[in-house]
């Protein structure tokens, strides 16, 4: 199996005066096309780890290697380019723009990067709206959609630049259990259909148990790592 992400000897210490070590010598490899869950108590270091994997935050020492390339010496622009080319992010709070429609929100990554909305781009956005089951409401303002619908808009948006890897931090944290189930089925479908690698932080045991792998982080260390 080919690995897409390698986390090597990652430590994270926050603060200069009062130092708090949050991650201790983390070593993890993630296989291409795999569906991984990260669980653990609040404050155990999960988000810090995911942000470091996604190059949104730097480790204090150690490194993250993505598709064989170390991100350690990359500058801000190189990291932004790498994220744009390979990574998609889904957060618990989806950060949609409330005064824009669902479709406009999905197109937002293109607008932000000043890329033209070509026919193909629009077709892709519409295809993604269909995939997430929102075709009928794609012209509604994000503000007027339910929590589950908004989260599906955020998922479509994360898919817009065809990322190889999706990192999700409690993507169903504020949804009811039925909607949670549906959102996970959708993520699984995306994993199978597009061969997208997923790393998902979740507090929902049922969801974690459906993943190919469960990693439990405890006090900044990998406590359990089960592959099915």
- Contacts with ligand ADP by CB under 6 A lie at 14-15, 20, 22, 40, 42-48
In the complex with ligand ADP, the residue whose CB is nearer, 165 or 215, is: 215
Given the complex with ligand ADP, which of 49 and 158 has the nearer CB atom? 49
**C-beta closer to ligand ADP: residue 104 or 216:** 216
Least distance in angstroms from the C-beta of 129 to ligand ADP: 31
Whole-number Å distance between alpha carbons of 172 and 203: 9
- Shortest gap between Cβ of 68 and ligand ADP (angstroms)? 27
What is d(CA 200, CA 158) in angstroms, rounded to the nearest whole number? 14
In the bound complex, what is the minimum distance in angstroms from residue 30's beta carbon to ligand ADP? 18
CB of 147 to ligand ADP, least distance (A): 21
User: Residue 43 or residue 147: which is nearer to ligand ADP going by CB?
Assistant: 43
Q: Which long-range contacts (C-beta less than 8 Å, at least 24 apart) are formed by 220-224?
A: 220/12, 220/21, 220/22, 220/23, 220/24, 220/26, 220/44, 220/45, 221/23, 221/24, 221/25, 221/26, 222/26, 222/27, 222/28, 223/40
Nearer to ligand ADP, 15 or 116 (CB): 15
Question: Measured between alpha carbons, how far is 66 from 5 in angstroms, rounded to an integer?
Answer: 5
CB of 167 to ligand ADP, least distance (A): 13
In angstroms, the CA 215 to CA 177 distance is 22
């Amino acid at each position: 199996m080919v690995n897409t992400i390698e986390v090597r000897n990652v430590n994270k210490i926050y603060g200069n005066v009062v130092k708090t070590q949050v991650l201790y010598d983390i070593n993890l490899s993630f296989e291409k096309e795999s569906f991984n869950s990260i669980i653990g108590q609040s404050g155990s270091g999960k988000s810090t780890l995911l942000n470091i994997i996604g190059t949104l935050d730097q480790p204090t020492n150690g490194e993250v290697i993505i598709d064989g390339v170390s991100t350690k010496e990359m500058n801000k622009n190189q990291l932004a380019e790498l994220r744009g080319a390979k990574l998609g992010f889904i957060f618990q709070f989806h950060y949609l723009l409330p005064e824009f429609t669902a479709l406009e929100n999905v197109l937002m990554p293109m607008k932000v990067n000043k890329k033209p909305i070509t026919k193909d781009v629009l077709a892709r956005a519409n295809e993604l709206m269909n995939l997430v089951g929102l075709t009928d409401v794609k012209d509604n303002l994000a503000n007027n959609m339910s929590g589950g619908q908004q989260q599906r808009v955020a998922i479509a948006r994360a898919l817009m630049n065809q990322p190889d890897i999706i990192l999700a931090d409690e993507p169903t944290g504020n949804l009811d259990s039925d909607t949670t189930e549906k959102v996970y089925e959708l993520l699984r479908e995306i994993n199978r259909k597009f061969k997208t690698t997923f790393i998902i932080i979740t507090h929902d045991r049922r969801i974690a148990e459906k993943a190919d792998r469960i990693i439990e982080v405890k006090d900044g260390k990998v406590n359990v790592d089960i592959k099915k």
